[in-house]
């Protein structure tokens, strides 16, 4: 009998925001993911919540007020001087309702932290979150507000030590920066590093500063890393971190752009290899918040996060994709595990992998021990005042019990699958640097 209490956060509105034509970040991937989760009947194994939307007050727990107020009012006619000040340019466009988008995805992660804090759940899932590049006062790498930092700040009100793990293909720079001086948050990121790959940070020499020295661990990898190599780093490093740092809670960013055949990523991880990272963390029996992140071949993002949801609720799922409103996306195989299309040359030699492992484990050995934290004043929770009356949940048919038609998510094909969409076109992968 599986005894974990799993909470899943989803607001169907999140899938309808649109970064712009041909932009690789497609919130629509969340509709595909949710549809698989529903049609695999996984919603029956967890509590499904529509998260509250983060308020300005919630967001300025980390972000600058001027920046958040700018997100509220940015519009097509906003001056270039202003948009460039906050980096709402280029790949971080000020698209319509961008602030509302932030409220939804950040609200899910904050709500998840709240549930963990109050022991209302053992595992929380917010696939809409995980936007790890956002900075205090500017957008970066498709990310506007950093829901992970906001969730960890919330967790720190009730927990002494938080372990952050990032398996996105990109370095978790925004989260690392936020806690670079802290010994209460250990940030571990495995990512592609070098060749000008975004964001350009994340070498092994970034270890934290001051009290935070040795509380940032970076595992830089080259193109084409395979499952076995990845696990030969991930498992011993995470095991050593758990033993030494002794976290009370884990925040896991599951960016799916580290999968093989991602439109932007450069790794060769299979769904098995990616999910193994989740499985490994789950074994420690600590509370976990699981978030999404990157992921730009949207059919594979949905496959990955559905598989990982199944794993988190301890329920095996069929290899055949169940019929759902996006079924044709999974052609021609209609299988959970996609047939691989492209294989990157693996530039990680066994010697390189051994050297990185040795370096990182040596850094960990220099950690004194888990810091003890005296908890005094507990700040006010986000959302505390409206906790009781605002929890929507799904009934046994997978419908919101409070809004029965809430599951009928628009396909939104007019935005995503037209001729100009390049989601199936790997030839254009070099057009994007993130």
Nearer to Zn ion, 45 or 191 (CB): 191
Nearer to Zn ion, 170 or 307 (CB): 170
Nearer to Zn ion, 184 or 191 (CB): 191
8 A C-beta contact, residue 174 and residue 149: yes
Structure tokens at 375: 């908890």
**CA-CA distance, 12 to 75, in Å (whole number)?**
24
8 A C-beta contact, residue 259 and residue 295: yes
Report the nearest approach of Zn ion to the CB of residue 399 (Å): 33
Report the nearest approach of Zn ion to the CB of residue 169 (Å): 5
Lateral strand order in the sheet of 249-253: 47-49, 6-9, 123-126, 288-291, 249-253, 162-166, 185-192, 216-221
Query: Number of C-alpha atoms within 13 angstroms, CB side, residue 313?
Result: 23
325: left (phi over 0), alpha (psi -120 to 50) or beta: alpha
> Considering 133, 159, 171, 274, which one is annotated as catalytic?
133
Only one residue has tokens 């057009």, namely 431
Nearer to Zn ion, 242 or 259 (CB): 259
Provide the binding-site residues for Zn ion, judged by CB under 5 A.
168, 170, 255, 257, 294
**CA-CA distance, 252 to 269, in Å (whole number)?**
17
CA nearest to 120, candidates 406, 393, 404, 396: 393
DSSP 253: E
Only one residue has tokens 């254009």, namely 428
**CA-CA distance, 202 to 116, in Å (whole number)?**
29
Report the nearest approach of Zn ion to the CB of residue 170 (Å): 4
Report the nearest approach of Zn ion to the CB of residue 39 (Å): 27
Q: Which residue is nearest to Zn ion (CB)?
A: 294
Nearer to Zn ion, 221 or 313 (CB): 221
Has 133 been annotated as catalytic?
yes
Report the nearest approach of Zn ion to the CB of residue 379 (Å): 31
Which positions are annotated as active-site residues?
133
């Amino acid at each position: 009998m599986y005894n974990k209490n799993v909470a899943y956060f989803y607001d169907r509105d999140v899938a309808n925001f649109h970064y712009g034509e041909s932009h690789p970040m497609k919130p629509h991937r969340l509709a595909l993911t949710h549809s698989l989760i529903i049609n695999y009947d996984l919603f029956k194994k967890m509590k499904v919540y529509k998260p509250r939307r983060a308020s300005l007050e919630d967001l300025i727990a980390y972000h600058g007020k001027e920046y958040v107020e700018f997100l509220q009012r940015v519009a097509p006619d906003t001056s270039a001087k202003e948009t460039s000040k906050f980096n709402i340019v280029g790949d971080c466009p000020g698209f319509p309702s961008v602030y509302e988008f932030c409220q939804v995805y950040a609200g899910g992660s904050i709500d998840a932290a709240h549930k963990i804090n109050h022991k209302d759940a053992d595992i929380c899932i917010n696939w809409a979150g995980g936007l790890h590049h956002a900075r205090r006062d500017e957008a970066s790498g498709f990310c506007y507000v950093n829901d992970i930092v906001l969730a960890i700040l919330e967790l720190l009100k009730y927990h002494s030590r938080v372990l952050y793990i990032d398996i996105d293909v990109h370095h978790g720079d925004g989260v690392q920066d936020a806690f670079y001086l802290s010994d209460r948050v250990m940030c571990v990121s495995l990512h592609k590093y070098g060749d000008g790959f975004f964001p350009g940070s994340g070498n092994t020499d970034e270890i934290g500063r001051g009290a935070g020295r040795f509380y940032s661990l970076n595992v830089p990898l080259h193109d084409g890393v395979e499952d076995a190599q990845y696990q030969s780093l991930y498992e011993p490093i995470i095991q050593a971190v758990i033993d030494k740092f002794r976290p009370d809670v884990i925040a896991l960013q599951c960016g799916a752009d580290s999968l093989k055949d991602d439109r932007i990523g450069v790794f060769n991880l299979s769904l098995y290899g990616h999910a193994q990272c989740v499985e490994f963390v789950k074994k420690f029996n600590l509370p976990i918040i699981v978030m999404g992140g990157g992921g730009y071949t949207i059919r594979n993002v949905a496959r990955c996060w559905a598989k990982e949801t199944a794993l988190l609720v301890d329920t095996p799922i069929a290899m055949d994709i169940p019929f759902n409103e996006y079924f044709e996306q999974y052609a021609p195989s209609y299988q959970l595990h996609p047939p691989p299309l492209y294989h990157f040359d693996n530039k990680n030699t066994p010697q390189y992998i051994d050297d990185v492992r040795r370096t990182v484990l040596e850094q960990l050995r220099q950690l004194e021990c888990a810091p003890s934290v005296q908890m005094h004043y507990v700040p006010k929770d986000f959302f505390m005042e409206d906790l009781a009356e605002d929890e929507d949940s799904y009934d046994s048919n997978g419908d919101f019990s409070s809004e029965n038609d809430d599951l009928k998510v628009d396909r939104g094909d007019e935005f995503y699958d037209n001729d100009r969409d390049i989601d199936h076109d790997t030839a254009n992968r070099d057009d994007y640097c993130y």
